[in-house]
């Protein structure tokens, strides 16, 4: 009894480094004992490569904007896409959804299909660096901090989080970035901010600052964080932890003392 054809493994890199010379996509399938009719590859629903063992030539490449196939290294099990460093004539854009369609030979012509997404990215390899932050501050001093991400593509988005709340971007400043590679901008991000500290910034006598680096346009990539804590200087620590005294209590205490003195004099 014949089995339906099925794709047992579709290997499409989740992230492709734009500096790579080539990217290999693989499609492993089981035809259930039948002969292969064709293997077709699609990007975003548009066919760009076809392998048909009964045709001449057996491999055929269809131009799709953003990708170039190395047809000599592509066959019924894999297709190789050239990176930008191997292609100077056309702008490479590998980001997209890639589908593999496999069909068995006549008379059934049964077909199976699978697809997976690929993004172009250079992921940061380490957390951002947080500079300028001191371990102790006094009320009235200015906190000045700068955060620098690791190299990435696309450029990382930096965010300051102070005591659990995101710092208003209106008081932050984007610093100049550094780029590498003429075709693809592999860069660092830098962000700074300054804030005059008040008593409210030290709940319980401490201040907590986080710099977060993320790639919001790339799915399933975790954010990197660098966290630091500062303590209120000893001269201000007692003031930050004490509850303010009310005006009424400051008046009643001396009046009560005078009443006790009067009673003692009268008793004598």
Over the stretch 40-54, which tens digit does the pLDDT of each residue have? 999 999 999 999 999
Distances (CA, A) of 268 to 114, 259, 262, 264: 104, 15, 10, 7
Q: Bridge-partner residues for 187, per DSSP?
A: 152, 179
pLDDT value of residue 264: 39
Instruction: Give the range among 141-145, 165-169, 258-262 with minimum mean pLDDT.
Output: 258-262
pLDDT value of residue 1: 52
pLDDT, mean of residues 29-44 = 94
Map out the domains of the chain with their CATH numbers: 6-120 (2.60.40.10), 129-232 (2.60.40.10)
pLDDT band at 75 (very low <50, low <70, confident <90, very high): very high
pLDDT in tens, 154-179: 889 999 999 999 999 999 999 877 65
Instruction: Report the largest interatomic distance among the alpha carbons of the chain, rounded to a whole angstrom.
Output: 127
- pTM beyond cutoff 0.75: no
pLDDT, mean of residues 79-107 = 87
pLDDT band at 261 (very low <50, low <70, confident <90, very high): very low
């Amino acid at each position: 009894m014949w089995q339906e054809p099925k794709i047992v493994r579709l290997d499409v890199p989740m992230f492709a480094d734009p500096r790579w010379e080539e990217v290999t996509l693989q499609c492993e399938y089981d035809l259930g004992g039948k002969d292969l009719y064709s293997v077709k590859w699609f990007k975003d629903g548009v066919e760009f490569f076809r392998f048909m063992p009964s045709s001449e030539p057996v491999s055929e490449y269809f131009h799709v904007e953003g990708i170039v196939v190395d047809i000599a290294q592509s066959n019924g099990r894999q297709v190789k896409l050239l990176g930008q460093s191997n292609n100077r004539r056309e702008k490479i854009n590998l980001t997209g959804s890639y589908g593999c369609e496999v069909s068995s030979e006549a008379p059934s012509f049964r077909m199976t299909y699978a697809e997976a997404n690929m993004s172009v990215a250079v992921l940061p390899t380490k957390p951002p660096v947080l500079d300028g932050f001191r371990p102790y501050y006094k009320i009235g001093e200015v906190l000045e901090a700068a955060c620098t991400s690791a190299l990435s593509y696309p450029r990382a988005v930096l965010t300051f989080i102070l005591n659990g709340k995101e710092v208003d971007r209106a008081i932050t400043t984007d610093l100049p970035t550094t780029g590498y590679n003429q075709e693809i901008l592999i860069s660092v991000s830098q962000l700074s901010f300054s804030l005059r500290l008040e008593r409210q910034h030290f709940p319980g006598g401490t201040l907590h600052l986080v710099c977060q680096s993320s790639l919001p346009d790339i799915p399933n990539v975790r954010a990197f964080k660098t966290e630091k804590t500062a303590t209120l200087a000893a001269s201000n620590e007692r003031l930050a932890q004490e509850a303010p005294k009310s005006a009424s209590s400051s008046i009643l205490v001396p009046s009560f003392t005078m009443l006790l003195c009067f009673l003692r004099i009268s008793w004598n």
